[in-house]
A and B are shown apart, each in its own frame.
Chain A
Amino acid sequence: MNLIIVGLNHRTAPVDIREKLSFPVDSIGEALKKLVTNYGINEGVILSTCNRVEVAGIAPSIEKGVWEIKRFLSEYHNIPLEDLDEHLYAHTGEDAVRHIFRVSAGLDSMCLGEPQILGQVKDAYSYAVHNNTAGAVVNKLFHKTFSVAKRVRTETRIGASAVSISYVAVELARKIFGDLTGKSVMLIGAGEMAELAAKHLLNSGVKDIVVTNRTFERAVELAREFNGRPVVFREFEHHLKDVDIVIASTGSPTFVIKPEHVIGVMKERRHRPMFFIDISVPRNIDPSVNNIDNAYVYDIDSLQGVVEANIKERSKEAEEAEAIVGSEIETFYRWVKSLDVVPTIIALQRTFEEVRKAELEKAVQMMPNLSEEDRKTLETMTQSIVKKLLHNPVTHLKKESNKVDGDFFIDASRKLFDLKIEEPVKKAEGGEE
């Protein structure tokens, strides 16, 4: 039983290859069935996103398994393997476990630590479950994967900091105001990025939004879109004292908000903090507003600076995430290795034999007048009971272990009889959580 992953991603293949190899959602079921019936793969999962296509499978032999999955990809998509091979990577065994853990935790993503991939991996697994191509190993592997991804997310801050300008605005607002519930925002002007930032703020609990624009109709329009309140551009200064966050994005060549405005506004607000986001070029907010107590001004460059700092922070967190992945692989892989049928059968026989011997010993001690011959008869009888009892389970174990859910039988036997698998694999239960 060997775990194999063959696939390609944004680093190994250009988009035109990735497109050709992708599996539309409604064809995955059929593809999975082909994979297990025609290519000798025992369990299979197909993950197909815009940045990666990967096929995970359990196969009786590594070399053959890798080859068969490649053949499957080539034949299914009708692309000659020669054109494909240079873009494909193959991970097997422990490497494959590491790969799937890393992918799910977002460590292999284009945007480090992004959370969507976990949902995509979950979908891929559920397709396999629905199409009966997920057996004991895949089940265990994916449940473990989800718990590793969760651990990475809770124990590191890999996904904690924003890496796009509009989200950075929300993050900074949170660092200033804490909870954004009940806060209000003013949008001066319009523009894609400014509107996006306003939208994110509203989604984060900001209560109301005041919209102003040199063209009043445009303000009304935007206000309707955001469920806010339009105000006339000439009068926006009077409303400044009521808002906590100001997003400026106008085409004005001069400063729209100057320090002398803000000083007065601050007094009226009893010095509650204000956050100014200046997305316009040339700038609309005088940078010296930042020198006023409790006023924070960010222009487009400083927002970009935050994005860069956050990206750096993520790669630092990624190191810690890798360490978590490393420690989890070992426990999982120990369990995988223990899924060999032979040690299970040996353990099963040993367990039965131990019970037989112990019980026989007890019985003999209670019958002190037993002749040597009677003793032998008892011995033979108990031996044949054990042999007969074990005959069917052992035969079935051997037979089933070569099938799709063979590992299920092995796992079940180990649990039912509480088997301790000894050498060559120690700590057979190490994979349990």
Chain B
Amino acid sequence: MLKTFFYITAFLYLASTLAYIAYLVSRRDALLNAGKYVAIAGFVAHTLTILVRWAEGGRFPATNLHEVMSFFAWLSVGIFMVFLYRYGMAVLGLFVAPFALFLVVTASFLPGEIVPLSPLFKSWWLPVHVTLAILGNAFFALASAFGAMYLIQERHLKNRKFNGLYFILPSLDVLDELNYRCLTYGFPLLTLGIITGAIWSEYTFGTYWMWKHRQVGSLVTWLLYAALLHGRLTTDWRGRKAARYSVIAFCVLLAFSLIIYVLLGEGHGLLKLDGG
């Protein structure tokens, strides 16, 4: 059943992505709406997948890389749902749906069995730490989507070429503001995620910090975004500069994570006794 739910989710994200791409080509509003509604359906299926996994495993479903990827996708789509509800911003799905699809497909290649967890990890620090850290990253994902939208809309306005997305993208000011807001949510969440992770590490292994690749990765992410926020707050980075930076920062974050988890294989032992 779990597998079925997972594949339905992946299929819906794929369908949503295709509808959005088809919209870009044909510019029929019906396709934009289709993309939106299929994404909503995907989110519902995804929520069920996670709940079923939680019930079957009897523990918070973010302990191995497969689960973390899926959880990351779910939170990103979840934030998209909030924006959809509050601002009706269907065009955001053009970026979020393919991203969720990418994560879910990557997750599908990773071992997804529910393995029993060492009693050492049965602590409420785990869900708190994981949720905070991933939620922070999900906000960064959305920030980069707004950044990309800003860059596209800015191009339209600078080059005076008006087609496709110009008509449905919001104003530069709104995109800049939303990009900034995502950073101001994402950064404290990631900070808290790192702090709770350290506390948990101390609680479990007796040391706050072990210089694992993963920890280094999150530190680099933290520094990148600290610099971006600092730039925005003090030296008037705004508009294009900030948008471009947040897109690049997120690409770096994503590349780092993939290298660390997938290539170096640290993810498989995400919660092994030798590492944490």
Contacts and interface: CB of A to CB of B under 8 A. Distances in A.
A296 B158 contact: yes
A108 interface: no
Nearest to A160: B167
* Complex A-B, nearest 8 residue pairs according to Cβ-Cβ distance, in ascending order: A178-B173, A309-B162, A178-B171, A270-B236, A302-B160, A178-B174, A294-B239, A271-B236
Contacts of B158: 290, 296
A195 interface: no
Contact of A157 (B30, B153, B167, B240): B167
Given A175-B153, A175-B171, A176-B157, A309 B163 contact: yes
Contact of B173 (A161, A270, A273, A305): A273
B29 interface: yes
A293 B171 contact: no
A177 interface: yes
A298 interface: yes
A174 interface: yes
B27 A174 contact: no
17 contacts: A160-B167, A172-B157, A174-B171, A175-B166, A175-B171, A175-B172, A176-B171, A176-B173, A177-B172, A271-B236, A271-B239, A290-B158, A294-B238, A294-B239, A294-B240, A296-B158, A309-B162
A187 to B, nearest CB: 21
A220 B237 CA distance: 38
Contacts, number: 62
A306 interface: yes
Interface in B170-194: 170-174, 177
A172 B171 CA distance: 9
Interface string B55-89: 00000000000000000000000000000000000
Interface in B217-242: 236-241
A272 B160 contact: no
Interface of B: 27-30, 153, 157-158, 160, 162-163, 166-167, 170-174, 177, 236-241
A375 to B, nearest CB: 62
A271 B238 contact: yes
A265 to B, nearest CB: 13
Given A271-B238, A293-B239, A177 B160 contact: no
B160 A305 contact: yes
Nearest to A177: B173
Contacts of B162: 305-306, 309-310, 313
Interface in A351-402: none
Contacts of B163: 309
A316 B30 CA distance: 13
Interface in A239-292: 270-273, 290
Nearest to A155: B29
A139 interface: no
B29 A156 contact: yes
B174 A293 contact: no
B27 A272 contact: no
Interface centre among B158, B160, B177 (most CB of A within 10 A): B160
Given A175-B172, A271-B238, A316 B160 contact: no
Nearest to A306: B162
A296 B171 contact: no
A320 interface: yes
A118 to B, nearest CB: 21
A178 B170 contact: yes
Contacts of B167: 157, 160-161, 313
